[in-house]
Amino acid sequence: MRTRDLAVPEGVVSVDEPLIDAARRMVDDALAGLVIVSSTGKPLAVLPASQVLGLVVPGYVKDDPALAAVVDEASADRLAERLVGLPVQHVLDDARPDLLATIDDDATLLEAAAVMARKHTPVLVVVDDAGQAIGTLSARDVLGRLLGSL
């Protein structure tokens, strides 16, 4: 089995896409993070779900976590509204280029596992011969496949 067989196209998001759609995709497809690519398909950074959560949390709660307790639930439920209308580009500065690691689409799963272990990253960008991202490969998927033979 090659990485292209397990690559998830939904794991890649363009800087031009609405951020709310990207967040929704993380929830629907149970993705721990997305790979942000430029409008030409060049991988730029990894966007972990925790980073999107960080956008939902107001700055004053980050400055003083005790305030999280005083906000009523009805208002807290509306906090994600601040994501509406923002493009993925908006979070590019907060995303993690250091977590970005690519792998060829014809590499084996063991090669993928080795890269993940070396770079301590939970997600790899699977790229074709032209360097375009065709999807992502999560540590969960690779581990699942490797465990499957036991």
Partner 1 sequence: MTLLFTVAVFLAVYALIATERVPRVYAALGGAAVVMAIGVVGAHEAFYSEETGIDWNVIFLLLGMMIVVAGLKQTGLFEYLAIWSAKRAKGRPYALLVLLCLLTAAASAVLDNVTTVLLVAPVTILVTDRLGLRPAPFLVAEALASNIGGAATLVGDPPNIIIGSRADLSFNDFLWNLGPIVVIAMVAFLIVSRFLFRSAFTFDAEKVSAVMALDEREAIRNRGALIRGLAVLGLILVAFILQRQLDLAPSVIALLGGGAMMLAVRGETDDYLRQVEWETLVFFMGLFVLVGSLVEVGAIGKLSTAVTDAVAGDPVVANMGILAGSAVLSAIVDNIPYVATMSPLVQELAAGSPELNPGNVLWWSLALGADFGGNATAIGASANVVIIGIAKRNGVPISFWYFTRYGIVVAAVTVALCVPYLWLRYLM
Question: What residues line the site for partner 1 (CB under 8 A)?
Answer: 58-64, 66-67, 69-72, 74-75
Q: Which residue has the tokens 């970005």?
A: 100
From CA 133, how far away is CA 129, in angstroms rounded?
A: 10
Tell me if 69 sits within 8 A of 76, measured CB to CB: no
Task: State the minimum distance, in angstroms, from the CB of residue 24 to partner 1.
Answer: 24
SS3 48: strand
Least Å from the CB of residue 43 to partner 1: 28
Residue 41 DSSP class = S
**Please, which residue, 15 or 57, has the CB nearer to partner 1?**
57
- Distance from C-alpha of 89 to C-alpha of 2, rounded to nearest angstrom: 31
End-to-end CA distance of the chain: 16
Instruction: Report the residue number, 74 or 130, with the smaller CB distance to partner 1.
Output: 74
Question: How many C-beta neighbours within 10 Å does residue 29 have?
Answer: 11
Considering beta carbons, is residue 1 or 69 the nearer one to partner 1? 69
Query: Least distance to partner 1 from the beta carbon of 48, Å?
Result: 20
Beta carbon nearer to partner 1, 82 or 145:
82
CB closer to partner 1, 92 vs 113: 92
CB of 74 to partner 1, least distance (A): 7
C-alpha distances in Å from residue 98, one per residue of 35, 47, 74, 119, 121 = 12, 11, 37, 9, 9
Instruction: Kindly state the smallest distance separating residue 54's Cβ from partner 1, in Å.
Output: 12
